[in-house]
Amino acid sequence: MRQYLYLLSLGVLLLLGAGCEKIIDFDGRQPPKKLVVTTMVGCDTELSTLTISESFLIYGENDEFDMPEEGEVKIEINGEECEILEFYVYEYDRIVKCYFDAQVKENDVIRVSVRTDKHPVATGEERVPPPPVIVDVQTEPFYTEPFYSEYGAGWTRALIRIKDDPGVSNYYRLFIKQYYDEERWYYIDYHIDQDLVMSSLSSQEIQEGDGDTNRMRIFPDDLFNGKEYTLNIYFWDPNYYEYEGNGTLMVELQSLSESMYLYMRSLEMSYNSDIFSEPVRIYSNIQGGYGIVGAYNSTVRVVDKW
């Protein structure tokens, strides 16, 4: 079903070149504004979000947004149009969000098309990857030598053995969640300095906090293509004393489409840039605009802590 809407206040603060794959030769004039379209659809989600905004230069000319009169949003799964359930306009942030129901599975093709009367048509598509394989999850207390060092009671190591699909490049994202109550889980920030694969993508400038926390929690299979690999991560359990060292963990491993991985990786690398380094261009797979259509598939294991 085609949906028509008044895009009352589209917009996002994008630096010139951020959100594109091509280099724009700047001649002193502000380049034409284009739509910025972002959605990431997973097999485990009942409701997905599509965000629409507009590119413009910070401190550029005529930064006041000229509102288009109407627009059209079309989302297809394997050629069949999805129902768009709701539209929300966020005037302060100058973005529009629409929510749609997309029940996807492996190899489904997601296609998005957005247009207005003042912008070129922005389109993008992606194929849903196969689910990742978790072979085993082991947890144990994590101590460092000497015993009285900074890592002691309350720290847990998780050894997560995964099996990689041979013959193709695979991309992953890892989440660890702590049991909160019967209906809720919360995410745990984990450290990666003891894991060869994940730490190879990280550096001090793009980590949160004092530890080796990978912001995007992503990694490719470059170092273990077609083999089994054991992720070695550790974290502080904020409820250690409440649960007396026990508790339940949820390990969620996602397989990412290549476009979704490259988008997240370019975001992660951009955190490490400064005015003296080469600019990092944010990856985009949107034709006629900027942004990303990404897809992922998940495998979940729930384990009791040691």
What single string gives the DSSP state of each residue in 105-142?
-TT-EEEEEEEETTEEEEEEEEEPPPPPEEEEEEEEE-
Length of the chain: 306
Q: What is the pLDDT of residue 16?
A: 32
Cα distance between residue 137 and residue 143, in whole Å: 19
C-alpha 20/C-alpha 148 separation (Å) is 50
In DSSP terms, which residues pair with 115 in a beta bridge?
Answer: 72
DSSP string, 41-103: EETT-SSEEEEEEE---TT-TT-S----S-EEEEEEETTEEPPEEEEEEETTTTEEEEEE---
* pLDDT at position 224: 95
In a 13 Å sphere around the CA of 166, the CA atoms on its Cβ side amount to 3
DSSP summary character for residue 33: P
173 band by pLDDT with thresholds 50, 70 and 90? very high
Task: For 4, list phi and psi in degrees, rounded to 5.
Answer: -110, 140
Q: How many helices (H) and strands (E) does the chain have?
A: 3, 17
Q: Tens digits of per-residue pLDDT, 106-156? A: 999 999 999 888 888 999 999 999 999 999 999 988 876 544 445 556 788
Tell me: pLDDT of 240 over 70: no
The reported pTM is 0.81
Q: Give the DSSP H or E segment for 262.
A: helix 258-270
What confidence tens digit (pLDDT) does each residue in 34-85 have? 899 999 999 988 889 999 888 764 444 444 444 445 678 999 999 999 988 8
Distance, in Å, from the CA atom of 36 to the CA atom of 276, rounded to the nearest integer, reads: 27
Tokens of 260: 């979704």
